[in-house]
Amino acid sequence: MNPMSTSTGSELWRIVHNNRNVTSNTAEQLWENAVRYFQWNDANPRTKKVTLTSGKEAGSKVTVENRRPYSVKALCLHCNIDEDYIKDIRSSANKNDEYYVVVTKILYIIYTDNLEGAMLDEYNPIFTAKVLNMEKEADNGSGNITINHVVAQPLDGKRIPELSDSENAVLEKLELEFSLSEKSKEQNS
């Protein structure tokens, strides 16, 4: 069977079974294997049978093709590499290393494909966000924090003390209040 021919259903296992000798001894070979994965992926959509619910053909079943999303695990299977191999390359300190550049490009392609597919409703957006760990990215505390200065308005004619800008200002105010309280006690005795 030609691995690049269009097939019905999920047949990645056939590619994996037939490509036992795929190797990526260089960054260029890794890129070429990844490109073959992307091409195979695009040429082999997932299919499913659905029942038509309206029109003249209502009740009959038809085969619908769905675009197959790219995934890191499927890429690893296709390229005969381990996911830890990709993680090790990505954690490399040398950002100019050929492997680092290739793996980064591959991961960006997979991420972008999934994100765009979710945005266009080709893939389930909630599931895709979980797969891409977008919830963690959105809640990692690295976003901008906005601090608004609130100006106190008097209520019922009572003066509201101003907020302090620093811990030292608070301590100075407490010290002043304490000394005024002590003077008041001395005058009353």
Distance (Å, rounded) from C-alpha 68 to C-alpha 15? Answer: 15
**Backbone phi, psi, residue 187, to 5°:** -70, -30
Distance (Å, rounded) from C-alpha 85 to C-alpha 57? Answer: 50
Mean residue pLDDT across the chain: 78
The alpha carbon of 164 is separated from its chain's Cα centroid by a whole number of angstroms, namely 40
Domain ranges of the chain: 12-138
Domain 12-138 adopts which CATH fold? Topoisomerase I; Chain A, domain 4 (1.10.132)
Residue 17's alpha-carbon distances to 3, 24, 80, 118, in angstroms, are: 11, 17, 10, 30
Distance (Å, rounded) from C-alpha 169 to C-alpha 175? Answer: 10
pLDDT in tens, 53-68: 998 988 999 998 988 9
pLDDT in tens, 70-109: 999 999 988 888 899 899 998 887 888 899 999 999 999 9
**Any idea how long the chain is?**
189
pLDDT reported for residue 101: 93
Please report which confidence band the pLDDT of residue 161 belongs to, taking 50, 70 and 90 as the band edges: low
Q: Does the pLDDT value for residue 114 go beyond 80? A: yes
Q: Are 35 and 24 in contact (CB under 8 A)?
A: no
Distance (Å, rounded) from C-alpha 118 to C-alpha 127? Answer: 9
For residue 79, the SS3 value is helix
